[in-house]
Amino acid sequence: MSRAKSKPGGFQYAPGPGIMEKQPGRNTIDLATFRIRIQKRIFYSETTGFGVFRVSGLPAGKNRVIVGELLDVSEGDTLDVKGRFIHHSRFGEQFRVEEYRAVMPGDHAGITAYLSSRGIRGLGRKTAEKIVAQFGKETLEILQERPQDLLRVKGVGRSLVEQIRTSFKDRRILRELTVRLAPAGIGTATILRVVREYGEQSLLVLESDPYVLVDSVRGVGFRIADTIARAMGIPAQDPRRLNRGIDHVLEQAENQYGDLFMERHRLVVAAVRLLDVDEELVLDAVQNQIERGRLVEERDTEPLVLSLRNHWVEAESARMLKRMVDREISKAVSDLGPALKGIDPPLTSEQRDAVSAAVSHPVTVITGGPGTGKTTIIRAVIETFSMSHLRVKVAAPTGRAAKRIEEATGFPASTIHRLLKVSPETRRFTHDESNPLPVDAVVVDEFSMVDIHLFYALLRALDARTRLVVIGDKDQLPSVGPGNVLRDMIQSGYFPLVSLHRNFRQTGDSLIVENAYRINSGDSLVLKPYGPELDFVFVRVSTPAQAASKVLGILEHLAPRYMVNSAELQILAPMYRDEAGIDRLNAVIQERFNPEPVCLSREQMRFKRGDKVMQLKNDYDRDVFNGEQGVVTDFNDDEKKIIVDFDGRFTEYAVDETEDLTLAYAMSIHKSQGSEYDCVILVLLPQHAMMLNREIFYTAVTRARKRLFLVSHEAALQPALANSTPNRRRTRLPQRLRETFENRSPEASADEYGIMPV
């Protein structure tokens, strides 16, 4: 803590963690300033620093509550605060603190109260009084500069001195980082996460290489790290900045488009735009990383660049597939007849071909659209393996898809993540080459959703003699993650492929599957007037406001059969913004149909009991994965945590832990992949035209099992049917498969690449 400067009135000033610096982009003209005293802490998050406090010192007639990111603030502290009055929908008027300065006490009583309120074990009021009696007004300076002098105080031991030293050192680090970073717009939550990760080394880390935060601190990406780097004085041309910027461009291509490589010229142009430096600097940096083995360059029609990790994952996936194909399968399968006898209705010839291929080959690909009997084939494959006393596991990318398999087959199924099991200590899968799955066969449904990294992890967990059966719809959107594994495997021609064509659901009374096939071929849809038994209902709207209103009306209409938070009812839309976008629909549905009070709020997001929610990222500590849906069932008022039921698994979230949780009454079409719902309300508007194509439309429609309401207009349907853009992602798996299966390149070891398996 920096040395305080004496001020009249018995107080001293010291820069607090939120020193009064104007924040970028904030208008401080309308900010009011008050000196306040903290009376009671109502809520405080140790993770983000956000707190709610009852105070004295605000104008008469105003609610005596302040909120904001307030570090190292305790009851009894005096602060000079600058901010504005705001109105909270539930809690009324509050004073939002934008900037503040700690006013340090200058008298014996004030210093005693300050020390005893820091939450340091063993430093209560009596011990604080002894320390102040010994050092007087120099107490705070002693604590900061010479804490070992405290050993002169009777009853103060080395353990307490160390706790005091650490506590005040952490506070000093927080202040120093805030002084350096707050003017650059770096928020309190980020600073707290850095200090928790690096402690007293935080400033040293930021001064030496702030870009390491990208790998080590949650929520810090390249742009935040780059802002910190500039605040720390690292020049724009620094090689560390150039290298991280190039990595960031490649990662953006992977995360946004699913691409595993970039053409070299595209990479350079994007990096120059991001870094705002001369092209020669980027060209040299790319070449340097290639020469050092951090990036891989390959030649096609033009030079291609990919990360070492992606190169390794695709090359190893091809090698492991080749190893499986070349090995004899573990055990022979007995005659299909007895196993298939109990399947009702009897299998068609193409279904029998699919089952025969699955049990006879090391790796088999089965693909077909909705209603082609894929689930029946899974059941038949399971029965055949089981009757031959072979151990089989069934998995899918999402929990909903796994649950659907269980319901249809009566056989246990799990997500791929849970099949591979994640170690909470290492956050790695426990099943790999050294600990393969103890099975003879693995069946994976909804395989179009499996990205290259998850596929690689699955292959690592399979013994070379284990059969692998993958089943999916090649016409659906590709995986949310990078790669295009199902299409790459089909197009390679190296694996037995069974394509299913016969449709079992298609009848004269059903339009969902009929229109799905029409969408896939680009034909006009069959749109009939509304009828109570019609399973495909077209609701014509012209504007986003009309669409939102119709969605609410349909939910009212469906209320006798489906609660709005039902797992069997889902609203889908392609975009998040506008009046009929996902965010707005979630807000208006919550407001209309959920009368419960707000439990937790995060920025514009509010959570109530009964809300339907979705996890946005894999959380290995909670065992909850991207895309899983649940319902908020309760609120722990003492700990300020909501409790979410994820299909029988109850998980708690504090307000600062909800950044990966969102409302899910409405969700994106991409997020719905791998799931099916009894009833779907699909919103497609002319305003979505840039996002619309057959693949998105087809994927959305095939999410509905029993009924679909299409809230749309002909002006939106026409481009959606006309625009077919099969996702030809930039992958090298086809090339790796050709090289491996045709022995056109030597196998490379992990040591040669200089990396450990991902």
Write out pLDDT tens, residues 5-15. 333 333 333 33
Q: Which residue has the tokens 């680090």?
A: 173
- pLDDT tens per residue, range 119-128: 666 678 888 8
* Span 150-175, average pLDDT: 81
Place of tokens 């889902």: 570
| Other C-beta atoms lying within 10 Å of the C-beta of residue 7 | 12
Determine contact, residues 573/703, Cβ cutoff 8 Å.
Answer: no
- CATH of region 239-311, choose from 1.10.10.10, 1.10.8.640, 1.20.1050.140, 1.25.60.10: 1.10.10.10
Strand order in the sheet with 569-573: 536-540, 704-712, 677-683, 569-573, 666-668
Find residue 18's DSSP bridge partners. none
**pLDDT, position 382:** 92
User: How far, in Å, are 232, 458, 730 from residue 267 at the CA level?
Assistant: 27, 30, 13
Same fold, 239-311 and 330-500: no
Residues sharing a CB contact under 8 Å with residue 256, sequence separation 6 or more, in sequence order: none
Q: What are the beta bridge partners of residue 88?
A: 92
Cβ burial 345-377 (10 Å sphere, 16+ → b, else e): eebbebbbbbbbbbbebbbbbbbbbbbbbbebb
Q: Which has the higher per-residue pLDDT, 21 or 443?
A: 443
Q: Report the pLDDT averaged over residues 520-527.
A: 89
Q: What is the mean pLDDT of residues 484-498?
A: 94
Residue 219 — pLDDT band, cuts 50, 70, 90? confident
The total number of residues written for the chain in this structure: 758
- pLDDT value at residue 509: 65
CA–CA gap between residue 540 and residue 685 (Å, rounded): 10
Average pLDDT over the chain, rounded to whole?
Answer: 85
Give the residue from 648, 76, 142 showing the smallest Cα distance to 403.
648
Q: Which residue has the higher pLDDT, 397 or 1?
A: 397
Output the pTM of the full model.
0.79
Q: What share of the chain is helix, strand, coil (3-state, %, to 5)?
A: 40, 20, 35
DSSP annotation of 137 reads G
3-class DSSP state of 726: coil
CATH architecture classification, 330-500: 3-Layer(aba) Sandwich (3.40)
Strands 677-683, 569-573: pairing kind: parallel
Q: How far apart are CA 435 and CA 462, in angstroms?
A: 9
- CA dist 681 and 666 (Å) reads 9
Q: How distant, in Å, are the alpha carbons of 3, 195, 305 from that of 201?
A: 21, 8, 35
Instruction: Please state the domain extents for the chain.
Output: 38-172, 178-232, 239-311, 330-500, 511-608+661-722
pLDDT of res. 125: 83
**Is a pLDDT exceeding 80 seen at residue 316?**
yes
- pLDDT surpasses 90 at 602: no
Comparing 27-41, 418-432, 557-571, 678-692, the range with the smallest average pLDDT is 27-41
Assess whether pLDDT exceeds 60 at residue 17: no
DSSP assignment string, 177-240: HHHHHGGGT--HHHHHHHHHHHGGGHHHHHHH-GGGHHHHSTT--HHHHHHHHHHTT--TT-HH
Computed on alpha carbons and rounded to an integer, the radius of gyration of the chain in Å comes to 30
**Crossing angle between the packed helical segments 108-116 and 125-135, to the nearest 10 degrees:** 140
Q: What pLDDT is attached to residue 3? A: 32
DSSP states of 46-92 as a string? TTT-EEEEEEE-SPTTS--EEEEE--S--TT-EEEEEEEEEEETTTE
| pLDDT > 90: percent of the chain | 45
Q: Under CATH, what is the fold of the domain 511-608+661-722?
A: Rossmann fold (3.40.50)
pLDDT tens column, 684-743: 998 887 778 888 999 999 999 899 999 999 888 988 898 887 668 899 999 999 999 988
Sort residue 164 into left (φ over 0), alpha (ψ -120 to 50) or beta.
alpha
pLDDT tens, residue by residue, 28-63:
446 889 999 888 888 887 666 778 999 998 888 777
What 8-state DSSP symbol labels residue 624?
B
Q: How confident is the model at residue 330 (pLDDT cuts 50, 70, 90)?
A: low
Model confidence at 334: pLDDT above 70:
no
CA–CA dist 415, 401 (Å, integer): 8
Q: Are 429 and 422 a contacting pair, CB within 8 Å?
A: yes
- Note the pLDDT tens digit of each residue in 606-659: 899 999 999 988 887 788 888 889 999 998 877 778 999 998 889 998 877 788
Identify the residue with better confidence: 184 or 306: 306
DSSP string covering 647-677? TTEEEEEEGGGGGGEEE-SEEETGGGTT--E
Per-residue pLDDT band for 105 (boundaries 50, 70, 90) equals confident
Predicted pLDDT at 12? 35
